[in-house]
């Protein structure tokens, strides 16, 4: 895809849906058949669902740090969040745990942020009876916004901190949710900007250098943030800062983060006494 700005993406979508503009750009850029591109995205959607459907609460990661958390949210009566948000939380945990347990996930945009998109899309499809076609279209929207973020800033925790991974995933998910809610291209951009703005400065501090603690629970945060920002954008709340400028700010913040807070395991939670004991025991 050739988009280097959200402004350019929305300009290309003036006379067609955003998802279609993204698909057509990908087809032109890679010289592939549109049906092949669609089928590839549909395959990614099925893989996302498969990671959750095949969840085994008894499975543990090789480190022993991860596993079983997703099941703890199931069958809860009452609770603070209600059934839908609780399912979002559980789905984010299950996907993150699938990644840590060496299962098959979709890097969206990275393995460490793989739980965000499925966490919001799978429960929404179940609740609202959305077709797979509608969700695949939303994934094209997410891909378009993610591609701009990758181009203007980064989707690498080693380069930009966790804001570039879970933050980017949250922004992509917010845009996708807004599309599914019938929002305009401008509303999608506001949702993306709000979600990314909320995660600016999020550090990457994996304990023992593993994509487990705090990565799995941060996927939950990214998913819930995406829901809130899409809800705001669909209600007419706008980001005071244009989306492209928010992405550029994320790049600047990532460049300013010290190396210890960019996936080296040298700062943040990884540098706590307990974090260091865990690392030493590996």
Q: What is the pLDDT of residue 232?
A: 98
User: Is residue 257 a contact partner of residue 158, using CB atoms and an 8 Å limit?
Assistant: no
Other beta carbons less than 10 A from residue 85's beta carbon: 16
Q: Could you tell me the two tokens for 86? A: 């609780």
Beta strands in the chain (DSSP E): none
What pLDDT, in 10s, does the model give residues 73-108? 998 888 899 999 999 999 999 999 999 999 999 999
Instruction: Average the pLDDT over 185-205 and give the result.
Output: 98
Tell me whether residue 63 is exposed, middle or buried, using C-beta atoms within 10 angstroms of its C-beta: 0 to 12, 13 to 18, 19 or more: middle
Torsion of CA 138, 164, 188, 227, to 10 degrees: 80
C-alpha distance from residue 182 to each of 10, 104, 282 (Å): 15, 31, 48
pLDDT at 43 exceeding the cut of 80 = yes
Query: pTM score, two decimals?
Result: 0.97
pLDDT at 78: 83
The pLDDT of residue 123 is 98
pLDDT of amino acid 75: 82
Distances from the Cα of 125 to the Cα of 40, 93, 192, 235, angstroms: 19, 18, 21, 21
Residue 173 binned pLDDT confidence (cut-offs 50, 70, 90): very high
Q: Which two tokens stand for residue 191?
A: 């949702």
Place of tokens 């945009």: 109
pLDDT digits (tens, 9 = 90+) for 230-262: 999 999 999 999 999 999 999 999 999 999 999
pLDDT band at 1 (very low <50, low <70, confident <90, very high): low
**CA–CA distances in Å: residue 51 to residues 45, 93, 102, 114, 146:** 10, 11, 11, 10, 21
Q: Which of left, alpha, beta for 208 (phi over 0: left; psi -120 to 50: alpha)?
A: left
Mean residue pLDDT of the chain comes to 97
Q: pLDDT band at 11, cuts 50/70/90?
A: very high
What integer pLDDT is reported at residue 275 of this predicted model?
98
Provide the b/e sequence for 233-269 (b: ≥16 CB within 10 Å). bbeeeebeebbbebbebbbebbeebeebbbbbbebbe
């Amino acid at each position: 895809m050739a988009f280097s700005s959200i402004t350019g993406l929305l300009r290309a979508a003036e006379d067609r849906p955003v998802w279609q503009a993204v698909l057509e750009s990908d087809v032109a850029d890679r010289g592939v058949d549109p049906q092949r591109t669609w089928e590839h995205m549909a395959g990614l959607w099925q893989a996302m669902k498969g990671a959750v459907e095949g969840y085994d609460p008894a499975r543990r990661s090789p480190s022993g740090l991860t596993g079983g958390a997703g099941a703890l949210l199931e069958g809860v009566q009452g609770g603070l969040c209600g059934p839908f948000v609780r399912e979002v939380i559980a789905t984010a945990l299950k996907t993150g745990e699938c990644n840590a347990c060496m299962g098959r996930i979709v890097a969206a945009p990275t393995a460490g942020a793989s739980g965000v998109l499925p966490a919001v899309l799978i429960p929404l499809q179940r609740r609202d009876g959305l077709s797979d076609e509608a969700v695949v279209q939303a994934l094209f929207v997410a891909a378009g916004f993610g591609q701009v973020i990758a181009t203007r800033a980064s989707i690498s925790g080693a380069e930009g901190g966790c804001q570039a991974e879970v933050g980017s995933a949250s922004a992509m998910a917010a845009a996708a949710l807004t599309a599914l809610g019938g929002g305009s291209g401008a509303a999608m951009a506001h949702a993306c900007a709000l979600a990314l703005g909320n995660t600016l400065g999020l550090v990457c501090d994996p304990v023992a250098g593993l994509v487990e603690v705090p990565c799995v629970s941060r996927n939950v945060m990214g998913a819930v943030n995406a829901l809130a920002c899409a809800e705001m954008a669909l209600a007419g709340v706008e980001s005071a800062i244009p989306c492209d400028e928010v992405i550029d700010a994320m790049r600047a913040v990532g460049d300013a983060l010290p190396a210890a807070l960019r996936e080296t395991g040298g700062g943040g939670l990884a540098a706590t006494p307990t974090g260091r004991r865990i690392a030493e025991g590996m």
